[in-house]
Amino acid sequence: MSLYPSVLFVLLVTMAAAETLRPGFYAQTCPEAEAIVRYEMMKAMIREPRSVASVMRFQFHDCFVNGCDASLLLDDTPNMLGEKLALSNINSLRSFEVVDEVKEALEKACPGIVSCADIIIMAARDAVALAGGPDWVVRLGRKDSLTASQEDSDNIMPSPRANATSLIDLFTKFNLSVKDLVALSGSHSIGEARCFSIMFRLYNQSGSGKPDPAIEPGFREKLDKLCPLGGDENVTGDLDATPKLFDNQYFKDLVAGRGFLNSDQTLFTFPQTREYVKLFSKDENEFFKAFVEGMLKMGELQSGKGCEIRTNCRVVNSQALDV
């Protein structure tokens, strides 16, 4: 899981980039923007509760790959392999249609004003708030990229098999701390994941031919039934015991050995991250505070390559004119 030096360089937050982002960015040009996003997210949640968890993860998958520029949302073209089919995204990220609905509503209210990159940031915040988690003021003013890169995503985004050491290394490269890593992993407080992501944990951890010993036996029995060898690996399981509620249950589950993904449970088995897991399992307010801080820091990742305000989040404007 290597990072190209050029990719890392452009993602380091500069003062110039940070100054362009500010609360209330659309107060004059589209004063109802944030209310529109919240309303559309609420409609999506009523229709399918899991969708908001899916949309929340777009911020992580977008911002870590060439900055928060909505490159994640671009569909493939004959000349470009986008990020939707990257290893960490294919058959995993979903609910792109929710962003389409948000964008359509914003274009009706104030055409050509609100970027898709900012929609991701607002929608992620709203997903957390609507699921019972913290609410916060977001800094806006991003522009949308003209391209995307499946290769960059494959080289940057972590695997569900990742251990705490590799995750710490990755987050450090983006000026995110160990505390940020653990807190942001709490995004798995809501949502589901596929059996595909845990088969190795259940049946061949580290090539041993045995299950991960960190899995609590009763929980392992439950997972064995959900994800049997030779079964449908697209079946999904809850990421924690309260998958529709954004709370600190995720961390309580890790302490109990009931983390779904290896990249989750490793946070408790690894000494450098364990204390934060224990802290957040006992103090939900501390988790919420650290999560908001992490989301704001991650939202500052900028490449300087944002060039336009897309009218359709799936295609750049020059292609949208041809559709």
| Residue from 61, 139, 179, 314 carrying the catalytic annotation | 61
Reported as a single tens digit per residue, the pLDDT across 266-305 is: 999 999 999 999 999 999 999 999 999 999 999 999 877 6
- Is 232 a known ligand-binding residue? no
- Token code pair at residue 272: 């450098």
Residue type, 308: E
CA max distance for the chain: 61
Domains of the chain: 32-156 (1.10.520.10), 164-300 (1.10.420.10)
- Token code pair at residue 231: 């079964």
Q: What is the mean pLDDT of residues 316-322?
A: 75
pLDDT of residue 5 exceeding 60:
no
Q: Residue 86 has what pLDDT?
A: 85
Residue type, 292: V
Q: Judge whether 308 and 317 are in contact, CB under 8 Å.
A: yes
- Is 236 a known ligand-binding residue? no
Q: Tell me how far apart the alpha carbons of residues 148 and 160 are, in angstroms, rounded to a whole number.
A: 22
Pairing of strands 236-238, 192-194: antiparallel
DSSP state of 13: P
CB atoms within 10 A of CB 282: 13
- Is 62 a known ligand-binding residue? yes
288: CB partners within 8 A, 6+ apart:
133, 134
Q: What is the mean pLDDT of residues 93-104?
A: 94
Reported as a single tens digit per residue, the pLDDT across 8-24 is: 444 444 434 444 899 99
Q: Tell me how far apart the alpha carbons of residues 5 and 8 are, in angstroms, rounded to a whole number.
A: 5
pLDDT of residue 4 exceeding 80:
no
Provide the β-strand partners of residue 194: 236
3-state class of 192 per DSSP?
A: strand
DSSP 32-97: THHHHHHHHHHHHHHH-THHHHHHHTHHHHHHTTTSSSSGGGPPPBTTB--STTSTTTTTT---HH
pLDDT level of residue 131 (50, 70, 90 thresholds): very high
| 61 catalytically annotated | yes
Backbone angles phi, psi at 85, to 5 degrees: -100, 15
Give the percent of the chain with pLDDT over 90.
81
Q: What is the mean pLDDT of residues 228-246?
A: 95
Q: Residue 256 has what pLDDT?
A: 98
Q: Residue 6 has what pLDDT?
A: 44
Q: Tell me how far apart the alpha carbons of residues 319 and 4 are, in angstroms, rounded to a whole number.
A: 29
Q: Tell me how far apart the alpha carbons of residues 250 and 248 are, in angstroms, rounded to a whole number.
A: 5
Give the percent of the chain with pLDDT over 70.
92
Q: Residue 30 has what pLDDT?
A: 98
Q: Between residues 314 and 320, which one has the greater pLDDT?
A: 314
Give the predicted TM-score (pTM) of the model.
0.91
Q: Tell me how far apart the alpha carbons of residues 199 and 233 are, in angstroms, rounded to a whole number.
A: 8
Of 119, 91, 93, 120, the C-alpha closest to 106 is 119
Helix, strand, coil percentages for the chain (3-state, nearest 5): 55, 5, 45
End-to-end CA distance of the chain: 37
- Is 180 a known ligand-binding residue? no
Q: Residue 251 has what pLDDT?
A: 98
- Is 242 a known ligand-binding residue? yes
Q: Tell me how far apart the alpha carbons of residues 94 and 73 are, in angstroms, rounded to a whole number.
A: 11
